[in-house]
């Protein structure tokens, strides 16, 4: 089983910045990561992809975050980061970490973290 633990959420003023972190613990299995993602979801809304990064380091962004958010990864620590700049009130959401990959080289899996709340408000 793979566990993801997010941190770094909180309250920030409009125009401010936050960095989210997601640590992946795959110590109980053998898991090869294809890509890691950040999603966000507001109350009553569908989950939206914010950013992704592949195992080779290629990054992709949602249409409403490109240019303001940066995803990065420390493979040695199984950690993915989301640096969020120029935050807007509409960025207020619960942010979720997600990983896709293969367990024991055979089983395609996807795992989710528990989410971290980001609130942008003055």
* 43 pLDDT higher than 90: no
Span 54-107, pLDDT tens digits: 999 999 999 888 789 999 999 888 899 999 999 999 999 999 999 999 999 899
In tens, the pLDDT along 8-21 reads 999 999 999 999 99
Q: What is the pLDDT of residue 76?
A: 81
pLDDT score for 63: 86
69-74 and 59-61 as β-strands: parallel, antiparallel, unpaired?
A: unpaired
- Find the radius of gyration of the CA atoms of the chain: 14
Stronger pLDDT, 63 or 113, i.e. the higher one: 113
Mean pLDDT score of the chain = 94
Give the pLDDT of residue 24.
94
Using alpha carbons, select from 40, 58, 38 the residue that is nearest to residue 99: 38
The percent of residues in the chain predicted with pLDDT above 70, rounded, is: 100
């Amino acid at each position: 089983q793979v566990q993801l633990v997010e941190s770094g959420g909180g309250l920030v003023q409009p125009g401010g910045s936050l960095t989210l972190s997601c640590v992946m613990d795959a110590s109980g299995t053998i898991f090869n990561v294809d890509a890691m993602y950040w999603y966000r979801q507001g109350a009553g809304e569908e989950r939206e992809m914010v950013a992704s990064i592949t195992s080779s380091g290629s990054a992709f962004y949602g249409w409403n975050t490109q240019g303001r958010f940066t995803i990065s990864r420390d493979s040695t620590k199984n950690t993915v980061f989301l640096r969020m700049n120029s935050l807007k009130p509409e960025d207020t959401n619960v942010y979720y970490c997600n990983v896709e990959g293969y367990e024991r080289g055979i089983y395609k899996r996807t795992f989710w973290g528990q989410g971290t709340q980001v609130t942008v408000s003055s």
